[in-house]
Amino acid sequence: MSALGSAPISATPLPGVSYVMPVLNEVTHIRAAVASLLEQDYTGPMEVTLALGPSSDGTSELVHQMSSEDQRIKWVDNPAAATPVGMNLAIRASQYPIVIRVDAHSVLPQDYASIAVETLLRTQADNVGGIMDAQGTSPFERAVARAYDTKVGLGGTPFHVGGKEGPVDTVYLGVFNRESLLAVGLFNEEIRRGQDWELNRRFRDAGGLVWFTPRLKVLYRPRTSVKALVKQMYSTGLWRGELSRRFGSGVRYFIPPVMVMATLIGALFGLGGVVQLANGSPAWALMGWIIPATYVIFVLLSTTVYGRGMGAKGAAWFPLVLPCIHFAWGVGFIMSYTRLTSNIAGQSGR
């Protein structure tokens, strides 16, 4: 029995699985994402429930068409267009004892559900997850994917870079015992980004088990432009700052905001040194340039180490992608943690 008091899921017959996915303006990715669910080699009962936000790119029409073509595909309206709201709507509209969260940017390997169900039954965990296997098609996307998958990009958590199987703080997406989800109250609809971490925190606080296995890999398509990447990272930083302020967090979450502050302060001192130099005064403030120069060297060294295997164009994007991630995330964190902005509720990050 789960530590949360949920009854064990019976392995015989094979338990049914409910795939749930929030969808908003994903006409480019949604068909491939849903196809990867329908093509799973898991032989137990299954259903797909899409929480459909008010899209403006034809996503709604495409989802309606797919639903009419396959009775296993259902959809529910998500007028709030918020991920946790959509997740809860889809979960409530589903029926099976195992809930598998899916992202519209992700493509599941064919054995994903089989491995996930076996792991969930074997460990009696409340949530099981694996690796976000970021892969890009364009040079820019390949650079973003490489940044995601390295410690210099998103910090090196197991679901980005891998690791040993076992208990963890949080996982990517998630395969849930439905009763455990209901026991902790589903997703917190006030948390628009980082809702996975917050939900897993409640699992752990209630004595539940969150389990990571590197056998689970989910193909993830990164953002396709600088603008989309900056928007995503800024939103993620905003919500991480909010979560850190509310619940506390590890030291590693403070590294990007500290880096941003140090680099900006160093640049300001450096500019002051230029003014001193122009006025014929001792230009001691020029030493401020050491900090931004150190960051530039860090980016260039990281590009040398991690830029291999992406092609010349991908490697050329990498020294731009890293600052986009670091500064957008760090500025968002600072704005939220210090309450310099109240514009958080509208930041879904999609």
The CATH class that applies to domain 17-222 reads alpha beta
Q: How far is CA 123 from CA 128, 219, 231, 322, in A?
A: 9, 24, 38, 37
Q: Measured at the alpha carbon of residue 53, what is the angle toward residues 49 and 59, in degrees to the nearest 5?
A: 80
**Residue 268: what residue type?**
L
Residues 284-329 have pLDDT tens digits of 999 999 999 999 999 999 999 988 888 889 999 999 999 999 999 9
Whole-angstrom distance, CA of residue 262 vs CA of residue 257: 9
Q: What percent of the chain has pLDDT over 70?
A: 93
Q: Which two tokens stand for residue 162?
A: 């891998």
Give the model's pLDDT for residue 349.
45
Q: State how far the Cα of 137 lies from the Cα of 255, in Å rounded to an integer.
A: 30
Helix, strand, or coil here: 220?
Answer: strand
Give the model confidence (pLDDT) of 163-200 as tens digits. 789 999 888 889 999 999 999 999 999 888 888 889 99
Q: Which two tokens stand for residue 232?
A: 């995503």
Cα-Cα-Cα-Cα torsion 168, 170, 176, 178, nearest 10 degrees, comes to 110
Beta carbons within 8 Å of 244's beta carbon, 6+ residues apart: 253, 254, 333, 337
Mean pLDDT of 267-294: 91
Q: Phi, psi at residue 41, to the nearest 5°?
A: -85, 0
Question: What is the per-residue pLDDT across 192-249, written as a single tens digit (0 to 9) for each?
Answer: 888 888 999 999 999 999 999 999 988 888 888 999 999 999 998 998 888 888 887 7
pTM (global) more than 0.85? no
Which sequence spans correspond to the domains of the chain?
Answer: 17-222, 247-337
pLDDT of residue 115: 95
DSSP string for residues in 81-112 = --HHHHHHHHHHH--SSEEEE--TTEE--TTH
Q: Omega into 214 within 30° of 0, i.e. cis?
A: no
CA distance 31 to 36: 9
